[in-house]
Chain A
Amino acid sequence: MSAITQPAPVGVAHLTRAVVKSWKAPFALAVFAALSALLFWGFARDGVSTFQLSTSSDAIQLPHLVLPTRATGIVISVVLIAMAVWAFVLVRRAIRVPLWFTSLFAVLFLVVFLAWVSAGDTLPVPGLLVGTVALSAPLIFGALSGVICERGGVVNIAIEGQLLAGAFVAALVGSITGSAYVGLLGAMIAGMLVSFVLAAFSIKYFVDQIIVGVVLNVLVAGLTSFLYSTVLTRSPALNNPPQFPRIRIPGLSEIPLLGPVLFRQTIIVYIMYFTVVAVWFGMFHTKWGLRLRSTGEHPQAADTVGINVNRTRFWNVSLAGVIAGMGGAFYTLTSVGAFNKEMTNGAGFIALAAVIFGGWRPLQATLAALLFGFASNLQNVLAVSGSPVPSEFMLMLPYIVTIFAVAGLVGKVRMPAADGKPYIKS
């Protein structure tokens, strides 16, 4: 966005290649490296950090990973500083800092931070990761919903409303029919209905999409809260949906560390894996994805080659609602168990942040959602084991990291060109 390529002057015999140097990434890495160094020089903690890698129910038991806190911290801090310096060197040579480099940096920073936090204590890594998946699942569904909508040129602020509607209808329908699967289906339809309103107002009536999204969130929050206070509290049997059972995938679920995290989950999580891959594959390798992206990037061009822009947008916004609805069902059919007033608690906005953090790309948005889930679960785990950082600051961390990331790392990504602009055929 901010890095502007200077086009080479036209008509000059020798064309110079435009070189874009973005100093944001190395700068951000330097900040985090400095933070890590500060933790170990300024607020040094002694003792050993123990990472518990297996639960007692695992078939293959991994030994506890024991790291001397201070030594680990110093070594990794030095590595982090070296990486930050290397990033400066790369950018100086006009080479973009590769994604794997940033990812490795993030993982190392995480290890050093966890080691510091859990000095003299044991950190249950499986519990941390299992909880991460549970907290991330609705965010991932919501983020995918946002990615599909925005790639098609419709800003989806209504993710929160879609999640909430899905959660409510899943609880209600699941309780009435006694089947979690029917409840899930109901949630998908509920999400789609919210999407219909978004699509109808923004595509048909050309109402500003942000307005519709914001208002839909309020509408769904009011509607579900009202019905909860009247219908569900009057007859609690209507808010007692059956829960999805956990399914162990034979073989895969016994992989140390990853098995319990990824393959002892409910059906919604397996659907989520499939959805992530399907959206990614569909968006970049199928006709559907090409059409979707073309309506979001250049609707006139798409129209010229015979794509019905508004119909494409309408059905993709609806599809996005279906996906977000499943995320809502995850609350009432798996993680929480019953509907509560405004139980999504801003998850839709976090999902929206994940969409933008992930640069409107499905896989990166999923990773961003996982990061948010991890951070909030880390706080839960540390609140139990006791942490040197006040819990409020732990809770704040993901949001501060996001601000840094959006300002520093993601500044270069570009939103779909026609995002938020209604297509009016002339």
Chain B
Amino acid sequence: MSDEQPPAEEAPVDAPVDAPVEATVESAEEVTVEPTVEPRSRFSGVLREITTGGAAISVFAVVLALIAGAVLIAVTDTGVQRAAGYFFSRPGDTLSAIWDSVSGAYVSLFQGSVVNFRRPGFENAIRPFFSTLAFATPLIAAGLGVAIGFRAGLFNIGGRGQMIIAAALAGWVGFSFDLPAGVHLVVALAAGMAGAAIWSGLAGFLRATTGAHEVITTIMLNYVAFYFISYLLRHQGLLQAPGSNNPKSAAMNPTAVFPKLLGDRYPLTIGFLLVIAATIFTWWLLNRSNLGFQFRAIGENPRAARVAGINVKRMYVYSMLIGGALIGLAGANQVQGVITTGFTSGIDAGIGFDAITVALLGRSRPWGVFAAGILFGAFKAGGFSMQAAQGIPVDIVLVVQSLIVLFIAAPPLVRAVFRLPDPLTVSRVKAPRSRSKKVVTR
């Protein structure tokens, strides 16, 4: 299981793979056809790349997932169900009811996540966009952490536990110490990141020394962290707020809270800047540094990496440590930027698991994770406004998100649905077979 490098190998839809193939086709044509044809053939190559390459697949996958979500919304809508009762006498009613429910849902999704012009003034209309970025902040950070694990061939399901530990440590530093403004913030953040790194590194250490599978150990450490912090939150003198009976901590000191970037009107904090920095760092780490090269090497083929002189066991520990620190950034952001009034053991808010889908959607590429995090942040922000405005449960967002990842992971399926031409790749993808047969899943 771990020897498999999940998303990184899915290269066939990437443009660089296409390019040399196109070149060979062109050069083959040039032998027989006049050179004046060359610009046209290049243009058609570009066109084909746009319509069949990675970007198109992503867009079509989103479209497919939104269509599936629309079907769900329409089917469960009471207005549609009522109108469908007399479908054969007045089919128009049913269709308009479907249109009302679906368009209402997606319009409010858009208004809740990008821009809402019904609000007075531009600065109010644009507010949803910044709440999208705020929702995206921890998703990106944790997604980067999971992605580093993926690139090293490790599957870190322990985002939840690592975030809880990070939140608890950052929170503890945040409310129990009195430090100067800037220092306090940094110390709390560092404590959280270090805690999560150790919690995650523990799984890496066990993997390296005993061969214990990281999928099991990280799942188990999730529960251990959850119950441990629950215990601390239930007892006075540990993490519980003084004089309180609730399993909740005290509020953060203002000196440890992330300052807002654009004033109190927008929820965006410097956490987002930190996440941009983390993305750049991850990109540098994976693509430019020696350490990242070793991570990718053990992810691609641990045996070959060992033969090449890479200390595989040590890399397991290092990649889990660094990935854990990034997940810790997400956890610290929860207490320092999002919920600063004291935390409970549910502080991770499911982000640890969402991060896995974010990393998958981003194909474990740092900027891909960044984009995926913003998309999922938009879904999250819009989902809540959709629930408030249209009464559509926010769970629909989970359905759409997971369908997007599923479709993007299977380009032949999307091509089959939209009858897109197959790119002339010499890849392993068995597109022709898939188009000839019916799709089993739909």
Q: A-side interface residues toward B, CB under 8 Å? A: 1-2, 24, 155, 196-197, 199-201, 204-212, 214-216, 218-219, 221-223, 225-227, 229-231, 234, 341, 346, 349-350, 352-353, 356-357, 390, 392-393, 395-396, 399-400, 402-403, 406-408, 410-411, 415, 419-421, 424
Contacts and interface: CB of A to CB of B under 8 A. Distances in A.
13 contacts: A1-B211, A200-B439, A200-B441, A212-B406, A216-B406, A218-B353, A225-B395, A229-B395, A349-B157, A352-B219, A356-B213, A407-B212, A420-B3
Contacts of A197: 406, 441
Interface string B386-425: 0000001101111101110110011011000000000000
B223 A396 contact: yes
A424 B428 contact: yes
A349 B219 contact: yes
Given A225-B393, A392-B234, A421 B4 contact: yes
Contacts of B399: 219, 222-223, 226
Contacts of B434: 204-205
B327 interface: no
Interface of B: 1, 3-4, 6-7, 9-10, 72, 76, 78, 155, 157, 206, 209-213, 215-217, 219-221, 223-224, 227-228, 230-231, 234, 353, 356-357, 360, 392-393, 395-399, 401-403, 405-406, 409-410, 412-413, 428-430, 434, 439-441
A219 B213 contact: no
B410 A407 contact: no
- Name which of A226, A234, A395, A421 has the most chain B CB atoms within 10 A of its CB: A226
Contacts of B393: 225-226, 229-230
Nearest to A219: B402
B1 A219 contact: no
B441 A219 contact: no
B406 A392 contact: no
A255 B428 CA distance: 60
A356 B401 CA distance: 29
B398 A222 contact: yes
B220 A201 contact: no
Contacts of B217: 403, 406-407
Contacts of A350: 219
A411 B230 CA distance: 30
Contacts, number: 173
A201 B406 contact: yes
Given A353-B219, A390-B231, A2 B409 contact: no
Contacts of B405: 211, 215
Given A225-B393, A229-B395, A230-B393, A399 B406 contact: no
- Name which of B216, B399, B410 has the most chain A CB atoms within 10 A of its CB: B216
A218 B401 CA distance: 8
A403 B357 contact: no
A227 B1 contact: no
Contact of B210 (A200, A353, A395, A407): A407
Nearest to A205: B410
Nearest 6 pairs between A and B by C-beta?
A222-B398, A1-B211, A229-B393, A392-B231, A225-B395, A219-B402
Contact of A399 (B223, B395, B396, B403): B223
B428 A2 contact: no
A23 to B, nearest CB: 11
Contact of B402 (A200, A207, A215, A407): A215
Given A207-B409, A207-B410, A222-B395, A2 B230 contact: no
Contact of A219 (B216, B403, B410): B403
B231 A403 contact: no
Contacts of B1: 155, 210, 415, 419-420
Given A196-B440, A205-B412, A222 B396 contact: yes
Contact of B410 (A196, A201, A225, A424): A201
Contacts of B410: 201, 205, 207
A268 B142 CA distance: 40
Contact of B440 (A2, A204, A219, A410): A204
Nearest to B398: A222
Contacts of A392: 227-228, 230-231, 234
B155 A210 contact: yes
Contacts of A207: 406, 409-410
Contact of B215 (A1, A356, A396): A356
A368 to B, nearest CB: 11
Contacts of B392: 230
B440 to A, nearest CB: 4
Contacts of A346: 219, 223
Contacts of B215: 352, 356
Contacts of B4: 208-210, 420-421
Contacts of B213: 356, 406
B208 to A, nearest CB: 9
Nearest to A199: B440
A208 B6 contact: yes
A392 B227 CA distance: 5
B434 to A, nearest CB: 7
Given A222-B401, A353-B219, 18 more contacts: A211-B6, A211-B360, A214-B357, A218-B353, A222-B395, A223-B399, A229-B395, A349-B157, A352-B219, A392-B227, A396-B224, A399-B220, A399-B224, A406-B210, A406-B213, A407-B212, A411-B212, A420-B4
A334 B78 CA distance: 31
Contacts of A406: 206, 210, 212-213, 216-217, 220
Nearest to A225: B395
Contact of B216 (A212, A230, A402, A421): A402
A393 B155 CA distance: 27
